[in-house]
Structure 1
Amino acid sequence: MQGKNTTRIRTAVLLATALWAGQAGAAGYPFQDTALAPEARIANMLSLMTVDEKIDALSTDSGVARLGIPSFGSTEGIHGVVQRGDQDHQKARITTTQFPQPPGMGASWDPALVRRAGAVQSTEARYITQSAAYQKPGMQPGVQPMLMQWGPQADLARDPRWGRSEEVYGEDPFLAGTMAVAFTRGIQGDDPTYWRGAALLKHFLANSNENGRGNSSSDFDERLFREYYAEPFRMGFEEGGARGVMAAYNAWNGTPMGVHPLLNSLVIKQWGVDVVSSDGGAIGNLVKLYKRYPSQKEAAVAGLKAGINQYLDTYKDELRAAFKEGAITEAELDAALARKFRITLKLGLLDPAQGNPYAAIKDGAAPWDSASHKAVSLQMALESIVLMKNEQHTLPLSKTGIKRIAVIGPHADSVHWDWYGGIPPYKVTALDGIRAALGPGVQIDYVPDNGGGAAERAARAADVAVVLVGNDPTCGPNMGKEWTDAGTKPCADPGDGREGRDRETLTLAQEALVRQVLAANPKTVMVLMSSFPYTINWSKQHVPAIVQMAHSSQDQGSALAQVLFGDYNPGGKLVATWPASMDQLPPMMDYDIRHGRTYMYARGEPLFPFGHGLSYTSFRYTRLRTDAAALPRDGALNVEVEVANTGKVAGDSVVQLYAAWPKSAVSRPQKMLVGFQRVSLKPGETRTVRIPLEARRLAWWNAARGAYEVERVPVRLMLGESSADIRLTRTVEVR
């Protein structure tokens, strides 16, 4: 295969040179000619580069200054551009729009809104890259390029103890994949020729334990690989159009993902991925932790041969030495860079600005200050909020009935940023939002904790108490200094987790504060600011109202206040099963989810089920039907249902479609999400909701045949408001 690639590149070089020679008056290099085919342009670039330049371009700096080839750069980007500032690398501190953490974005169950968030992020990355206001003095725009955005995160939250659950959309592959597709499309844009930005999915694959992650192995069979762990990635590439990926630290069945043969055989050759990045320090882990190679040089060579063409590690001197020794060839470097330069062309970095709609994103006011970006931010924060419990209609609170309110807790007057968050242009805490909503006529008593009984006194004197508790996404302010070869140091609170450290318990330590406040005032609302599930059994039993939302939204307080006081009706849904006890969970390193993980295979009664979320109104589902009598194995049909708002206020219903296979000849999940739609309804309004169902969504992976297969068996379709709240069922034949 390598020989074919080399021949193709050489042929393209000759063709490009010949075509260029025949063009009168041309200036510059052949690769600057937009009339040439992309592969011919790339071949010309490679023919002009030295070996040293080729090796250098395998970093996050994909540019070649001597030839005027700009770098597309990089930025973290799972819920906003990250530009916190770095004096060592001469990077300025730049504010950018910050959305809720991905579990919050997933909780919206609104891919159209997630797509808009991706567009906001990518527009801001373009603006920073192209605006002269953000470049070093005397330099041209592009000194701080960040057009390749390291997101979305396509891993799955298979276990609530995972420290990086805060980075992913949830435990379900279809939900996570749908959101990854939406965010990718938002980043890359709608233009048929050019991309606004380039999405890089991470971390491939089955990367959901932090403790020992540097050389741990995620072990499971090929069916789970295809049907569960790889499915969000496949969707992101094949349906979303992403062409970048980051390999995970861990191994799959003993082979480290950074050198796994699947990078070439599946990711590059079948899914068409162009940029394959190592994770930070992962090449070194192959030597230090896996002890798979004797030195960094051999590990770097192995990465290149496996398909890596973006190194986040020491590699340059190593590859130069390997080239001199003949361990790698220039043809191998060319093949790696040819893929990378396809992204350069898709971003329009070598083309005139005319015809590229994204080239003009550089002038005028900063986009994060625009009304349109602020509106997307607020809407995402609103739709991310989940109403977990609302006994006797405790919520919404009446503004006119409150003379004094206690706002209590460590999360009342802060917005916590996470390891992959940037600096927002503004932030609204819960206390800020409540003050703005109630105005000067209401006394607001803020107490951060119960030191000296202060929280109890404030709650007792108030008409209502709002207590805000949850986790700290970074386990304190010094996360950057708490790294070891094994990850990060343990969190002070064993119920907290972060990158490099899994949670030791699902217990919410701050639930003690909730108990104290509730004892002082029975009209208490609990707001849980959390990146992952907690076993809040006591609170579920005793606290009249519980609201949950993810961290890091710049509009956190504004959105929360709108929900608390009824200006917005929450419609968010949980993206993971909340277990009632850690006893319901298999061992952390058991990656076979069929042993009791997720709503698909759970054996016990959860505290809160996947897809759960209440509303201030009620909905009725009727007339479940399909627009075809049977589903062709290679076709599709529409599932339709009438949804009515039977309450007195407008609200959003998330219609969830699940499938089950009671007569399957192979083992299948007890139910599986295959479609959903969030719909807004006015009081008394009824609407027909139509959810498309493609037969391929029902397929299982036949390892013996090496292919997906759709069974000719009846499929039970189930519609409901959560995985445990099924309202209607219907059986459809597959033929």
Structure 2
Amino acid sequence: MTQTQSPTVEDLLQQLTLQEQVSLLSGADFWRTSAIERLGIPQLKVSDGPAGVRGGGPLVGGKKTAAFPVGIALGSTWNEDLLHEVGQHLAREATDKGAGVLLAPTVNLFRSTLNGRNFESYSEDPFLTGKLGAAYIRGLQEKGVAATVKHFVGNESEYQRNTISSDIPERALRELYLLPFEMAVKEGKTWAVMSAYNKLNGTFASENKRLLTDILRQEWGFDGLVMSDWFGSHSAGESVLAGLDLEMPGPARARAALLQEAQNDEALQEAIKTAARNVLRLLERTGVLHQPLDVQDANEKDQEHQDTTALIRRAAAEGMVLLKNQGDLLPFPAGAKVAVIGPNAAKGQVMGGGSAQMNAHRQVSPLQGLQAALGENQVSYHIGCYNDKFLPVHQGGFDIAYQELGSDTVLVQEHQPLGEIMWFGLPEGVPRAFQAKMTSTLSIPEEGRFELSLASAGLTRLYVDGELVVNNWEDYRPGDTYFGFGSDEARGEATLTAGEHTVLIEYRTPEVAHGFGISAVRFGFRKPLPENSIAEAAQLAAKADYAVVCIGTNGEWETEGVDRWGLDLPGQQDELVQAVLQQNPNTIVLLQTGGPVLMPWLNQAPAVLQAWFPGQEAGHAIADVLLGQAEPSGRLPQTFPAQLSDDPTHPETPDLQYPGENGHVEYQEGLYIGYRHVDRKELRPLFPFGHGLGYTTFELSDLQADPTELNPGDALTVTVKVQNTGQRPGQTVVQLYVTDQQSTLQRPEKELKGFAKVSLEPAESTTVQLKLDMRSFAFFDDQQQAWVAEKGTFLLKAGQSSADLLLSLPVQLNADWLDSVQTI
């Protein structure tokens, strides 16, 4: 090696002592790996995704960043090119934050409609999920930022996720839940994988050798890094031997004794060396090994890139799904007078909760978007009702005086700008166990009755003008806030006169330290709505040409650590919709959720637009679609059931199948989730998988395959003609499903095996080509441990949704094809 050459991974590996190798296998802190200064090995910073790059700051507040549409919104685009472009832009956002690794994408499937993190993933279908995830990964890594595909594997719900065992039959594991990860490795070439919190068939995913070594590395050929989810590792040497390279976050917890374990264990020493190599290789692939990034949180950049802003707006519109448009009510004309009604009207519901949340550059509400598009004089507004799970966060901020436990001496004072604080880092001189007095001021314009609340990880009391209003100390009840480590929301009421009032919150950290180390306070405050609020909103709607009722959920209801409450919309939102429909026949229901909900007003509503949580430009993108400046070309990536009992996991009667019992959740439905379940049970969903309308119409014809007779190992090309038969330019998604006409094992009626997004001008046509290989026709035979496509007839079905497959064509496989799972 000459003086000018940089040391290679192998050069560095040979110079590392065992102690230094071990130090690389646990993080240095919450977001950074450990450096080895002696050899010039720098830190590598990671950051939460998948719908943005938060950086190393707190979950609440922190540096501004670009907020992209959430996973299900991107999944609704069915557009690989768009996902690739999103990945490229996220790489720049990561570099701005000094991060070489993004903790994304999430490719777990929608097994149940009640998964709390439903919004983070792409689809109920593994093929669609895998294709979109691979495109996202390629875009990200082409720009030098590592993807970390997650959560590997079986994290399809949040209930007891840190301890529960996902017991998944082998065929379902292979054909459904592993497939998107396999595609992320083989097609996306992902540089990193994150293990799940849960156990898989009795063994923690983070120390499951069959999963992390036998399947991921030996069978699929993965040569990247495997990291734990945060505090999701449970052993030292055992996890290294299983194939877990990096414990996060640091400093070492589960691996605190790893060096001692390895002293006289040659096999473990060799495994440690292999894991250290994988850490160094990730530094090399991201370029950080030889050109370190500034990993200090204080130096993160928060500038906004205009091309990224434009992409977010375009992607948000493309992911919106027009569920219903009776009488072509949409788009409405630019000169219309519009009443914007509902709890999500004046709030930009741009993201879900948990680790996916960030401090967006802006959160444009539907009201703001329509005001900008139409003019403020053309737009009226009424909230109608609330849909919050918690009282809104107080916006006044706090002055905080930190103290040692049991002491009146103030250690440090600081100001926090928000009424919610999560302490992942503390001011210098403040111990992890502390108490604090937090003061703020309420400015009340006129006398009235107000609601106040506290939720906290730790104990809290709230005083107003010296009077105790909320006691979350003696009356503390464990709840589902802060990833399940916080309290229930405790509420109180107070009559406040006009003027300023002093608020004091007393806080003490949790007595029992837990793995996440979360200390947090959330102060909620609002004035209740009058009893006639819904009637007032309906009367306002009657005066407008069109009413847009903005309903749904938010990141409080749909978040990490807790599953969804059910499929009913929270609060009085259904009442609000029905009241507005009675007053204005030109009512559009604008739905913003992270997954399916019930719609008891659907038969009366002429138009329904599903907008999801579409990122920071939400209101602008919504206005673009409502006014016809953009096409709502989204297609549902998840079945919307007609009732909760139609969910494949049957959650109306909680049991072992969902959410689980005695530490186990059994995937008893096997292969039959989503549209596969609908077909098997002959259900009629509210809206089927793949459904979506537009502002024009399309016709599919001339389905052909070449060849129509296959020998084992062959591939075929499917073509279908698509024509825009309407009066406007638009997009549709050609969907191709495969049916096995005769099989020795039971198979779903059909399975998605190809799709393509098509853009056409009026009267324009094109021919779409889709490629199918042997895996497109195969099932997994767990007895033979092989993928098998059996001799016989397969039916190709093409259309524009899983319930709209008007074209079909038989193809013949002349002999059995078998591909045993091989190690390499």
User: What is the Cα deviation at residue 92 of structure 1?
Assistant: 9.6
Aligned to 2:171: 223
| Farther-moved stretch of structure 1 (724-733 vs 107-116) | 724-733
Q: 1:237·1:273 contact (CA, 8 Å) conserved in 2?
A: no
| Farther-moved stretch of structure 1 (219-228 vs 645-654) | 219-228
Distance in 2 between residues matched to 1:704 and 1:332, nearest whole Å: 31
User: What is the Cα deviation at residue 733 of structure 1?
Assistant: 1.3
Aligned to 2:371: 435
Aligned to 2:607: 545
Aligned to 2:41: 69
- Pair 1:728–1:80, CA change in 2 (3 A): same
Q: 2:55·2:97 contact (CA, 8 Å) conserved in 1?
A: no
| Farther-moved stretch of structure 1 (113-122 vs 307-316) | 307-316
- Pair 1:631–1:570, CA change in 2 (3 A): farther
| Farther-moved stretch of structure 1 (590-599 vs 272-281) | 590-599
- Pair 1:317–1:106, CA change in 2 (3 A): same
Q: 1:188 aligns with which of 141, 146, 149?
A: 141
Distance in 2 between residues matched to 1:462 and 1:325, nearest whole Å: 79
Alignment of 1:112-191 (within 5 A): 112-129=81-98, 146-189=99-142
Alignment of 1:248-397 (within 5 A): 248-262=196-210, 263-271=212-220, 272-284=222-234, 299-312=235-248, 314-324=253-263, 329-351=268-290, 369-397=304-332
Aligned to 1:108: 77
- Pair 1:169–1:92, CA change in 2 (3 A): closer
What residue identity is the alignment partner of 1:720? G
Q: 1:621 aligns with which of 700, 704, 714?
A: 700
User: What is the Cα deviation at residue 158 of structure 1?
Assistant: 1.0
Aligned to 2:383: 447
Q: 2:631 aligns with which of 569, 582, 590?
A: 569
Output the TM-score relative to the length of structure 2. 0.73
Give the total of aligned pairs: 631
What residue identity is the alignment partner of 1:579? P
Q: 2:169·2:670 contact (CA, 8 Å) conserved in 1?
A: no
| Farther-moved stretch of structure 1 (95-104 vs 412-421) | 412-421
Alignment of 1:524-535 (within 5 A): 524-535=587-598
Distance in 2 between residues matched to 1:352 and 1:513, nearest whole Å: 57
User: What is the Cα deviation at residue 594 of structure 1?
Assistant: 4.1
Distance in 2 between residues matched to 1:157 and 1:79, nearest whole Å: 18
Q: 1:594·1:601 contact (CA, 8 Å) conserved in 2?
A: no
Q: 1:367·1:373 contact (CA, 8 Å) conserved in 2?
A: no
| Farther-moved stretch of structure 1 (665-674 vs 590-599) | 590-599
Distance in 1 between residues matched to 2:97 and 2:168, nearest whole Å: 43
Q: 1:232 aligns with which of 180, 200, 204?
A: 180
Q: 1:642·1:686 contact (CA, 8 Å) conserved in 2?
A: yes
- Structure 1: which 4+ aligned runs deviate by more than 4 Å? 324-329, 365-368
Q: Secondary structure at the match of 2:549?
A: strand
| Farther-moved stretch of structure 1 (577-586 vs 419-428) | 419-428
Aligned to 1:609: 688
Distance in 2 between residues matched to 1:327 and 1:321, nearest whole Å: 12
Work out whether 1:413 is the aligned partner of 2:413: no
Aligned to 2:468: none
Work out whether 1:684 is the aligned partner of 2:763: yes
Q: Secondary structure at the match of 2:135?
A: helix
Distance in 2 between residues matched to 1:669 and 1:414, nearest whole Å: 42
Distance in 2 between residues matched to 1:592 and 1:173, nearest whole Å: 18
Aligned to 2:729: 650
Cα distance per residue 1:682-722 (max 9 Å; x no partner): 11111111122222222111222222122222111111110
User: What is the Cα deviation at residue 516 of structure 1?
Assistant: 1.9
Aligned to 1:483: none
Q: Secondary structure at the match of 2:50?
A: coil
Q: 1:301·1:327 contact (CA, 8 Å) conserved in 2?
A: no
Cα distance per residue 1:309-337 (max 9 Å; x no partner): 11125135322343357597433321111
Work out whether 1:42 is the aligned partner of 2:124: no
Q: 1:83·1:95 contact (CA, 8 Å) conserved in 2?
A: no
Distance in 1 between residues matched to 2:358 and 2:344, nearest whole Å: 19
Alignment of 1:11-26 (within 5 A): 20=1, 23=2, 26=3
Aligned to 1:81: 53
Q: Secondary structure at the match of 1:593?
A: coil
Q: 1:213·1:249 contact (CA, 8 Å) conserved in 2?
A: yes
User: What is the Cα deviation at residue 441 of structure 1?
Assistant: 4.9
What residue identity is the alignment partner of 1:269? Q
User: What is the Cα deviation at residue 671 of structure 1?
Assistant: 0.8
Structure 1 unaligned spans of 5+:
1-19, 34-40, 130-145, 190-194, 285-298, 360-364, 476-495
Cα distance per residue 1:356-402 (max 9 Å; x no partner): xx99xxxxx979633322222111111110000111111111123x2
Distance in 2 between residues matched to 1:104 and 1:707, nearest whole Å: 35
Aligned to 1:136: none
Q: 2:370·2:379 contact (CA, 8 Å) conserved in 1?
A: no
Distance in 1 between residues matched to 2:785 and 2:128, nearest whole Å: 25
Work out whether 1:516 is the aligned partner of 2:579: yes
User: What is the Cα deviation at residue 415 of structure 1?
Assistant: 2.0
Distance in 1 between residues matched to 2:725 and 2:153, nearest whole Å: 44
Structure 2 unaligned spans of 5+:
28-32, 295-299, 386-528, 651-657, 659-664, 815-824
Work out whether 1:198 is the aligned partner of 2:146: yes
Cα distance per residue 1:504-534 (max 9 Å; x no partner): 3111132222112212222211011010111
Structure with bigger helix share is 1
Q: 1:242·1:273 contact (CA, 8 Å) conserved in 2?
A: no
Q: 2:63·2:302 contact (CA, 8 Å) conserved in 1?
A: no
Q: Secondary structure at the match of 1:457?
A: helix
What residue identity is the alignment partner of 2:343? P
| Farther-moved stretch of structure 1 (212-221 vs 627-636) | 627-636
Aligned to 1:14: none
What residue identity is the alignment partner of 1:174? F
- Pair 1:281–1:370, CA change in 2 (3 A): closer
Aligned to 2:434: none
User: What is the Cα deviation at residue 596 of structure 1?
Assistant: 4.7
Q: 2:671·2:748 contact (CA, 8 Å) conserved in 1?
A: no
Distance in 2 between residues matched to 1:179 and 1:238, nearest whole Å: 13
Aligned to 2:567: 506
Work out whether 1:591 is the aligned partner of 2:667: yes
Distance in 1 between residues matched to 2:576 and 2:223, nearest whole Å: 49
What residue identity is the alignment partner of 1:500? G
Cα distance per residue 1:520-560 (max 9 Å; x no partner): 22221101101011121x23211110000221511111111
What residue identity is the alignment partner of 2:794? V
Distance in 2 between residues matched to 1:443 and 1:414, nearest whole Å: 15
Work out whether 1:725 is the aligned partner of 2:661: no
Q: 1:103·1:167 contact (CA, 8 Å) conserved in 2?
A: yes
Aligned to 1:668: 747
Cα distance per residue 1:244-296 (max 9 Å; x no partner): 11111222222221111221111122331421111222235xxxxxxxxxxxx
Q: 2:618 aligns with which of 550, 556, 563?
A: 556
Distance in 2 between residues matched to 1:114 and 1:442, nearest whole Å: 36
Aligned to 1:600: 676
Output the TM-score relative to the length of structure 1. 0.82
| Farther-moved stretch of structure 1 (273-282 vs 725-734) | 273-282
Q: Secondary structure at the match of 1:348?
A: coil
Distance in 2 between residues matched to 1:333 and 1:699, nearest whole Å: 38
Distance in 2 between residues matched to 1:64 and 1:410, nearest whole Å: 52
Distance in 1 between residues matched to 2:316 and 2:552, nearest whole Å: 17
Distance in 2 between residues matched to 1:339 and 1:434, nearest whole Å: 50
Alignment of 1:473-512 (within 5 A): 473=555, 475=556, 496-509=557-570, 510-512=573-575
